[in-house]
Amino acid sequence: MATWSNLGFQDSASPLMEQLIFFHDHAMVVLVMITAFVTYIMMTLFFNTLTNRFLLENQAIEIIWTTLPALILIFIALPSLRLLYLLDEVNSPSVTLKAIGHQWYWSYEYSDFLQLEFDSYMTPSSDLPSMGYRLLDVDNRTVLPIETQVRVLITAADVIHSWTVPALGVKADAIPGRLNQISFMINRPGLFFGQCSEICGANHSFMPIVIEAVSVDSFLAWVSASSET
């Protein structure tokens, strides 16, 4: 959860999020170096009462400050393009989940299992346990297996929503009449919270997402128990 001591990314729970954090750190190093260099040059010129005549018109400097930014942009663009292709890559899924956005809740269908579908509403504050997360927990959590390739098909029944789970590094718009697809693999068990990230109406902030990542055996046991009810 976001606190004053934790304002960065959440701990990654998928290889995609790990790569996103690596790219963020890579870009931040470049930005900090550029900012420090520009600040040093500005302070040097600001507190210097003399004028360097070689800075008034110098072809070499013109070439340097045109070429150097181009190289820096390439240094940032190459890992960015690699990451874009990784995010769009879809491997053969072992589990397919369909997420449907409504005003204002999510419904889920497990396409690989017959008659396994449910609605997921935000848990009211009055029904939360003492250690519950206000505005984030739901009555029916989405259970998924760890270390398994998962495909999520995302759509909406009314207006545009957005299915987002930061710890997994996934975000896709839910558009009526269209199926968007994302693919990921969860590499550790736990609870991962997300929220609708597209303004979809009055209760936009009250349709959270909760992924409960469990072992494959626990997932199959949950599927079996849910199918019987």
CATH of the domain at 180: 2.60.40.420
What's the pLDDT at 159?
A: 94
Which of 88, 117, 151 lies at the terminal end of a domain, its last residue? 88
- 115 and 77 together in one domain: no
Span 155-171, average pLDDT? 93
Whether residue 3 is predicted with pLDDT greater than 70 in this model: the reply is no
Same domain (yes/no): 190, 144: yes
pLDDT score at 54: 67
Length of the chain in terms of residues written: 229
In a domain, 4, yes or no: no
Tokens 């013109």 locate to 62
pLDDT interval class at 189 (50, 70, 90): very high
Of 52-66, 78-92, 138-152, 169-183, the least confident: 52-66
User: Which residue type is seen at 176?
Assistant: P
Which pLDDT belongs to residue 213? 94
156 neighbors 101 (Cβ within 8 angstroms): yes
Specify whether the CB–CB gap between 71 and 77 falls below 8 A: no
Same domain, 176 and 192: yes
My answer on whether 124 and 194 are in the same domain is yes
Tell me the pLDDT tens digit for each residue of 83-93.
888 888 777 88
**Which residues, 6+ apart, have CB-to-CB distance to 20 below 8 Å?**
9, 12, 83, 169
pLDDT digits (tens, 9 = 90+) for 93-151: 889 999 999 999 999 999 887 778 899 999 988 888 877 788 888 989 999 999 899 99
In order of 114, 118, 154, 196, 216, the CA distances from 13 in angstroms are 28, 24, 20, 19, 16
**Residues 58 and 128 grouped into a single domain:** no
Instruction: Name residue 167's amino acid.
Output: A
Q: What is the pLDDT of residue 84?
A: 87
- Under the banding of pLDDT at 50, 70 and 90, the label for residue 55 is low
Residue 63 has pLDDT above 90, yes or no: no
Q: What CATH number does residue 72 fall under?
A: 1.10.287.90
Q: Are residues 79 and 128 in the same domain?
A: no
pLDDT at 157: 92
Pairing mode, if any, of strands 161-165 and 170-174?
antiparallel
Residues 174 and 144 in one domain: yes
Q: What are phi and psi of 209, to 5 degrees?
A: -125, 135
Based on the fold, state whether residues 130 and 203 are members of the same structural domain: yes
Helix (H, G, I), strand (E, B) or coil at 130: coil
* 160, 209: one domain: yes
**Parent domain of 183:** 95-228
| Mean pLDDT, range 6-34, rounded to an integer | 89
Query: What 8-state DSSP symbol labels residue 49?
Result: -
Task: Find out whether 138 and 107 touch, Cβ atoms under 8 Å.
Answer: no
Q: And the tokens for 194? A: 């997300």
Tell whether 10 is covered by a domain: no
- Residue 6 counted as domain residue: no
The pTM of the full predicted model, rounded to 2 decimals, is 0.80
Task: Tokens for 92, please give them.
Answer: 């053969």
Q: Of the candidates 88, 120, 136, which is a domain's last residue?
A: 88
Residue 82 and residue 170 in one domain:
no
CA distance 11 to 7: 12
Q: Give 49's pLDDT tier (boundaries 50, 70, 90).
A: confident
The reported pLDDT for the residue numbered 115 is 76
Rounded to an integer, what is the distance from CA 162 to the centroid of its chain? Answer: 11
Last residue of a domain, one of 65, 88, 111: 88
The count of domains in the chain is 2
User: Does residue 100 share a domain with residue 80?
Assistant: no
Query: Quick one: 64 and 48 in the same domain?
Result: yes
